[in-house]
Amino acid sequence: MTTPVDELQGTIEMDQANERVKISFNRQLEQGDCELTLKFIGDINDHMQGFYRYKYSTLDGEEVPYGASTHFDPANCRRAFPCWDEPNFKATFDITLITPKNLQAISNMPIIYENEYLDDKEWKITKFDRTPIMSTYLVAYVVGEYDYVETKDSNGVSMRVYAPVGKKEHGQFALDIASKVLPFYTEYFNIKYPIAKADQIAIPDFAMGAMENWGLVTYRETTRLIDPEFSSMESRQLVAIDVAHELAHQWFGNLVTMDWWTDLWLNEGFASWIQYLAVDKCYPEFDIWTQFVADTFAPFLVSDALKSSHPIEIPIGHPNEIEEIFDEISYSKGSSVIRMLHDYIGDDTFRKGLHNYLKEYSYKNTVTVNLWSHLSKASNKPVNEVMSSWTLQI
């Protein structure tokens, strides 16, 4: 059933404290499918949340007026357009951008149509393919002056790294990493990467190190673009680790998503462990597991000894609380206990249980005990009993 908007009247109430809007109609809707169309005006802000603008410069220092990017993690999609902005309200998204003709328009999915907008030679309209069903925090679109380097991985997935004009060569190493790591994950999980492209883009002003938007990973420019002639081994290792981390999320986080932010560690702890496994397999000369001890294991021991520490799984109520758990406990302690579990049940068994888990919950939401259940079945060991003592208490 489709009820035209003009047949209904109602009121809109804003709940600023809980970041919600309540729409009350003058009569009860009939049971069935309804279509809700909303007209709204949004701001492009300067706060690195929602849909925001930024300045950037070319290699010779020339400043380009503005670009614009999204950053919706963890609960900022609502700042760009009205939506059910929680991870367990998954949906498909049809993105259309109307932009100046000289700017690149990029989103999660490949472009299916691009042309002049209303015969205006200065503007263009770009339509993107429909996304898989996914959470709102993974939606992304970027507009700006960008160059790119590109390739295809061994499975035919199109890959690009976008960089400000004049800097595209600085994205080549990240592209090389991605073209090796993505096929590794495809084989390790035994589940095909579900999108036709896997792009990365460098954003000058970015609130986090990186964000795993499905099909369009966004990065802080200073952490992703490196000079191929003068970069150190440490810089290359950091780029490799970060790329491997975000690509792991394409399965563990994007394809299968935590039901609520209480299980954030399931996304971040797992990716923070398997990033090392992927880099070690693709670049054994890095001897990357030594970095795990120095950069991941040892630091979390210090944080976990503080009075401010918390269990890996911690209840989250208000959206304002979410960013507080993007910390060493969720990432570093989480990855350390996953590494312990992997060694406890063995790689073959771990992969079998992981594949079954990802297969059952593809395009769905999940909680920690669901992963433990599949690993228990695969290993015939009491994974839930063992791991709960590590994740539910300090």
Which active-site residues does the annotation give? 246
Cβ(257)–Cβ(365) below 8 Å: yes
Look at the alpha carbons of 384, 390, 391, 393 in this order and tell me if their dihedral is positive or negative: positive
Greatest extent of the chain over all pairs of C-alpha atoms, in Å: 68
3 state DSSP class of 381: coil
Distance CA 209, CA 217 (A): 11
Nearest to 329 by CA among 308, 306, 312: 312
Residue with tokens 């994950």: 185
C-alpha angle with apex 57: 114 to 64, nearest 5 degrees? 50
Cβ(354)–Cβ(246) below 8 Å: no
CB-based contacts of 265, cutoff 8 Å, min separation 6:
312, 313, 325, 329, 330, 331, 334, 368, 391
**Token pair listed for 135:** 């959470």
Distance CA 232, CA 309 (A): 34
Nearest to 155 by CA among 126, 120, 194: 194
| Rg of the chain (C-alpha set) | 22
- Bridge-based pairing of strands 63-71 and 50-57 is antiparallel
CB-based contacts of 96, cutoff 8 Å, min separation 6:
125, 126, 127, 128
Distance CA 322, CA 260 (A): 10
Residue with tokens 């015939």: 380
Partner residues linked to 199 by β-bridges: 216
Residue with tokens 């939606």: 139
Residue 209 dihedral angles phi and psi, to the nearest 5°: -70, -40
